[in-house]
Chain A
């Protein structure tokens, strides 16, 4: 679709642009950026809304194949669009798991067909056969089939030996191992952060060290092997310290944090709200502040949602029985602006780094730029729009969000990618 965006406040850190301009897009390519542009395309007046290089969520559970009652790639893509994402990295804990090239290709294909292919769907593949942690999956073949990285998420690669071999093996193609950091002997039986609140509620806890001990061990291996490693969903302040030290030593290590770990603490569990039950858990206020600081200071590179759909009935049980996880694609930008930007930890201008540039850099994708001649790949956000999170209006198949009925400031209002455009009702 040919489009003429009027009054777009473009923020592109790679090119150093922070200005209100018009953008003309023809045949999916940016043909002009300037003031008072003309053109034949559809005119959309953005009225100063922010336009960023397209956001990518590098931690999404699309649930297909195998768990289509929770989400399908099609509904996941719809949620991604509404959340302002033009690309996602899907996690391999599907059924069958993504330990076979055929499954990789299936996911890519489903992605291309969802909503006309407006969202780029990239699969991550498993590190080990069946995600069982004992034998390497066919990593090179998976890479050739299109897997961008490897992870056994929702479980860690527990064996130090297997992790070592995986990190070594993928050096063949400069591959990336992504780790869900959890020492399962320390976390076993736990359902929330181990601390004051778990003591108050008599619930078994998952201590900070379950994440930190695993991270420390892993980074020693990464250093020894000269491998490339990305730590998922950091939840503990101590992990930020460990990461800071690793980066100072020059390790090829990156890390992500979720919007919910930046916005919520274990106090959310006081009402036994199962939508706040997540792994790694929501931790203390000190942990949350340390994560915000880690993001602000650049030790955490990426915000990724760990979008984890579960059906209403699966979550409508007693706390200890509920599955872990919450959806996050559609609330990510709003939560981050409300809780992280508006509290002073991250300026708006830095959003494209943590949402767009860094995820693509880490995964070896071309960096998206907003310039003449570039393929148009845009995320449009109204940073002052106040809106209420209505679970029934979420486009994800599942509605398990702890932000239900919250008012958020800042909303994605559209995306443009692969020659297609999606706008929310606020724009029309």
Chain B
């Protein structure tokens, strides 16, 4: 990197290979063109068909090396990405690190540069610090996919959530979706807000006031403190996981209180005039944010989300790796 590149406030290096999307990376849904989302959905639909075949493999990413760089433990997202990569015939390397630049040890930059020195083409990164994927996009030549950066974005999760809703309802336009939980700390919520509003859906967020981030209305959503008021208005609810370790005591008194006032149960859902579709990013705290009964019921599209997750990730990996000329 030249001295002037190093001192740029934030600029992207030239990356080898253009992509069929507007950007060589998928860092978030904030500011992504609508056409890119539509392209990802179309490609995911094709790949879903692959996942139904007896031999679930296509050679699209043959010879491409993908590193899954996970600084936060995550079984399901990592497995989903790994499956997607392997279905595309990519060479996959998993790198789990429990350190970031915060602890003594190798900085994020050095970790990434070392990996890139081994000539990898794509990096899928999950990191507790918001902006970490953007930082990597600046210091690496590889394509960067954000698998979750702190409380900022988790674009592939939102894409699969939206894809699942689109499959169910036919279109996202004017669909009213509620997101329930710790909105202030949720990258799933934020990416969904960015993506859904872009696609013309109406989004409401719901949670205790201590968990609603400041000026969230500026993102085009409205706020509810009572989930019983929200339920009759929406067609779908995306129910977020409540993390006790972080929040109890300061933002909510206890999980019990949360469950009482915000837990999604059959009784609550019956107050709606129409059946409500339930999404959850997983893993579920059964009988906290979501009753066990509902999680397993006909309302829930949670398992569809998992299947769609692999297809969406295949689509993203594929579209980032091909040039415009070779686009689907």
Contact = CB atoms under 8 A, between A and B. Distances in A.
Interface of A: 194-196, 198-205, 207, 271-273, 275, 312-313, 316-321, 391-392, 399, 402, 404-405
A195 B102 CA distance: 25
B75 to A, nearest CB: 22
B213 A318 contact: no
Interface string B103-128: 00001110000000000000000011
A316 B127 CA distance: 16
Interface of B: 3, 6-10, 30, 100-102, 107-109, 127-132, 134-135, 149-153, 184-185, 187, 190, 213-216, 218-219
Contacts, number: 96
17 contacts: A199-B184, A199-B214, A200-B30, A201-B131, A203-B130, A203-B151, A272-B10, A272-B134, A312-B6, A313-B107, A316-B107, A317-B101, A317-B108, A318-B108, A318-B127, A319-B135, A399-B7
The 7 A-B pairs with the shortest beta carbon distances in the complex, nearest first, are A202-B152, A272-B131, A202-B151, A318-B129, A271-B10, A317-B101, A199-B213
Given A271-B9, A272-B10, A199 B131 contact: no
Contacts of A204: 151
A361 B214 CA distance: 41
A273 B190 CA distance: 21
A407 B143 CA distance: 32
A203 B101 contact: no
Given A199-B184, A202-B130, A317-B135, 16 more contacts: A200-B219, A201-B152, A202-B151, A203-B130, A271-B9, A272-B131, A312-B7, A313-B107, A316-B6, A318-B108, A318-B132, A320-B102, A321-B100, A392-B7, A399-B7, A405-B7
B69 to A, nearest CB: 13
Contacts of A194: 214
Contact of B129 (A312, A319, A399, A405): A319
B214 A320 contact: no
Contacts of A391: 7
Contacts of B6: 312, 316
Given A202-B151, A273-B9, A195 B215 contact: yes
B10 A203 contact: no
B219 A273 contact: no
Contact of A321 (B101, B149, B187, B219): B101
Given A317-B109, A320-B130, A391-B7, A198 B152 contact: no
A205 B214 contact: yes
A198 B10 CA distance: 18
A272 B3 contact: no
Nearest to B10: A271
Contacts of A399: 7
A318 B135 contact: yes
Contacts of A273: 9-10
B130 A201 contact: yes
B9 A320 contact: no
B134 A199 contact: no
A196 B218 contact: yes
Contact of A198 (B3, B107, B127, B213): B213
Contacts of B134: 271-272
Contact of B150 (A207, A316, A320, A404): A320
Among B8, B9, B149, B190: residue with most chain A CB under 10 A: B9
Contacts of B214: 194-196, 198-199, 205, 207
A207 B214 CA distance: 10
Contact of B107 (A207, A272, A317, A402): A317
Contacts of A402: 9
Nearest to A204: B151
Given A200-B219, A201-B152, A205-B214, A319 B130 contact: yes
Nearest to B103: A321
A275 B131 CA distance: 14
Given A201-B131, A272-B134, A318 B219 contact: no
Among B7, B30, B149: residue with most chain A CB under 10 A: B7
B218 A199 contact: yes
A203 B107 CA distance: 20
Contacts of B10: 271-273
